[in-house]
């Protein structure tokens, strides 16, 4: 099983930290899980123009193909202006309508205020379900204040939720795969 983490930020490291922790939690839950992290700041993903994927640059094709080939995903974004990042939305716009069919797709977000924790449920989740993703019941929202100067999270509740999300993604994906085999 391959779990791909997507960091939808073009600056900073808080979202990267949380996505990376979810990947590690999934791997520690099931050592057979292969993980890969796509940090959008490392790629030149072109703006969607409505043309076939093959018309875009190599970075765009690589990122989209890696995600489409994954068994399951965890998507992370900082929250800016009560929304996901434009970089993440642009990436999601590259996908065909059924791109995430039967892929368990966990959600995480980081933000400066607790007033934005619902962005995951009311903005990102509808996009993911439109793309036919199976979205776990739990998600993780981390306030910027929960990070220390070394970009570590010392809040035991948040670390527990990160661990639980990593495990839930793997458990759910195994159930989805089992259902599809029968």
Distance from C-alpha of 100 to C-alpha of 95, rounded to nearest angstrom: 8
Rounded to two decimals, the pTM is 0.96
Q: Does residue 105 contact residue 53 with C-beta atoms inside 8 Å?
A: no
pLDDT interval class at 107 (50, 70, 90)? very high
Mean pLDDT of 24-35: 98
Domain borders along the chain are 2-181
Tokens of residue 76, six digits: 């992370």
Is the CATH number 3.10.20.30 carried by domain 2-181?
Answer: no
Q: Residues 122-146: pLDDT tens digits?
A: 999 999 999 999 999 999 999 999 9
pLDDT interval class at 4 (50, 70, 90)? very high
What's the pLDDT score for residue 182? Answer: 81
Per-residue pLDDT for 102 more than 90?
Answer: yes
């Amino acid at each position: 099983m391959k779990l791909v983490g997507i960091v939808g930020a073009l600056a900073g490291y808080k979202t990267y930290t949380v996505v990376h922790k979810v990947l590690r939690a999934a791997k520690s839950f099931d050592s057979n899980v292969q993980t890969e992290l796509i940090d959008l700041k490392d790629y030149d993903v072109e703006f969607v123009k409505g043309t076939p994927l093959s018309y875009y640059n190599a970075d765009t094709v690589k990122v989209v193909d890696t995600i489409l080939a994954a068994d399951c995903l965890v998507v992370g974004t900082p929250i800016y202006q009560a929304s996901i990042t434009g970089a993440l939305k642009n990436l999601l716009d590259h996908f065909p309508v059924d791109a995430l069919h039967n892929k368990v797709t966990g959600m995480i977000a980081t933000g400066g205020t607790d007033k934005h924790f619902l962005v995951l449920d009311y903005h990102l989740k509808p996009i993911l379900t439109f793309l036919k993703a199976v979205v776990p019941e739990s998600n993780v929202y981390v306030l910027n204040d929960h990070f220390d100067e070394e970009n570590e999270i010392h809040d035991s509740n948040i670390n527990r939720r990160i661990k639980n999300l990593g495990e839930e993604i793997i458990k759910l994906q195994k159930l989805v795969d089992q259902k599809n085999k029968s």
